[in-house]
Structures are given as C-alpha cells and as structure tokens.
Amino acid sequence: MSRNINDLSSLRALYGEPSERAVKKELSALDEHCRNFIAISPFLTMATCGSDGRLDCSPRGDAPGFVEVVDDHTLLIPDRRGNNRVDSLGNIVEHGRIGLLFMVPGMNETLRVNGRARVVTDPTLLEPLEVKGKAPRSGILVEVEEAFLQCAKALMRSHLWNSDSQINRKSFASMGQMLADQIEGLDGEAFDRDVPDANRYPLY
C-alpha cells in the first residue's frame, strides 16, 4: 500500500535535518565563485511559474558568459530567438518568480540561483548583449535572492559528461518522426530535411 507524505514535519522525519554546511552555503548575493561560475557557463535551465500555478522549465544556452552579472544582486539573461511560445516570459510577466540552474560541461557541480525577475526591453541594457550585430528583443532581469552551489552527486550518477554514455542518435526517433506522431498532417521527413538549415540559421 502506497503512503503519501502530506506535511513538512513528516517529510523532515523521513529525511532528518540537513547538515550545517548545506544550510550555511546558501548566499543572499553572488560571491566571487558564483560570478566565476556564471562567467564560464554556456547553459542553464530556467524554472518559472504562472499566476495559475502552472510550472515551466526551459533551457537557455549560448557562448560561455552569455548571462551578464550586472552586480552581486542582479543578472541579465538575453532572450535569444526561439519558437515564440514565450512560456517563460509569460510566467515572469504574470508571477515574477524564477529559478535558475547553471551548468558547465565537464563540471559535475552546478549553481542554483533563485529570485524575482522581470522582462526588460531597454536598448541600453540589451545592446551590450548583441551577437553578430543583433541584440535580443528582450532580456530577463533577475534580482538574486538566494544562490548556492549544488553538489556533484546527480551529474555523477547520470554520467552526463561521459562520452561513453552518449546514445547513437540514430537509435532514437528523429524530431520529425516524433512530431509527425503528435501533430496530425505534419510531414516528418520534410521536417527532418529542413532541420539542419533551421538549426543553423537564424540563431540570433
């Protein structure tokens, strides 16, 4: 018979108290190590929540240092070209909360940053983030409320950076094949033929 945990006291009873180090590592601002981590990170995942409580987690990536550290309490994330669903941006406009997980290839530790966010379009903020002469249409300005380094166990268990654990991409359905099964009338083979060009241009 399954048992659910429905209150924090039961959850804490199951897991016990966190170590003193796990509690003390939480920072209210970005220190030197956090800033350095962000400066070499080419990839992050962004968690947001809408006013209706629906959650979204979205990937963001670019050249290392694509996220600007404005100061010890502020980050600026460029919103590069995508599919125009604006799920994350819509949630930020509605709710304004954000959670970030920064990753660095080859490094098993990650950096977690949580806080408040708003969508900005000020050219003076966005122009320094331009790539190939193109500034992002908007940016996400993050007010950092907490930041801390996450231990390496999850990435160690997953062998994420181990090349030996990478699958043969041809052993898994192509994007076109998957979408053709999900969207009536979509030509999966045509989609796959167009993907190489679509992924190369325009990225910005």
In angstroms, the CA 202 to CA 204 distance is 5
**Residue ranges per domain, the chain?**
21-158, 167-200
E strand residue ranges, 12-65: 43-49, 55-61
Q: CB-based burial of residue 75 (10 Å sphere; 0-12 exposed, 13-18 middle, 19+ buried)?
A: buried
Average pLDDT of the chain to the nearest whole number: 94
At the fourth CATH level, the homologous superfamily of domain 21-158 is Electron Transport, Fmn-binding Protein; Chain A (2.30.110.10)
Q: What mean pLDDT comes out for the span 30-44?
A: 98
pLDDT tens per residue, range 88-137: 999 999 999 999 999 999 999 999 999 999 999 999 999 999 999 999 99
For residues 95 and 103, give the distance between their C-alpha atoms in angstroms, rounded to a whole number: 25
The percent of residues in the chain predicted with pLDDT above 90, rounded, is 90
Residue 1 has pLDDT above 90, yes or no: no
The predicted pLDDT at position 196 comes to 76
Q: Which residue has the tokens 């098993």?
A: 108
Q: pLDDT tens for residues 173-191?
A: 999 999 999 999 999 999 9
List, in order, residues 6 or more apart from 195 with CB less than 8 Å away. 175, 176
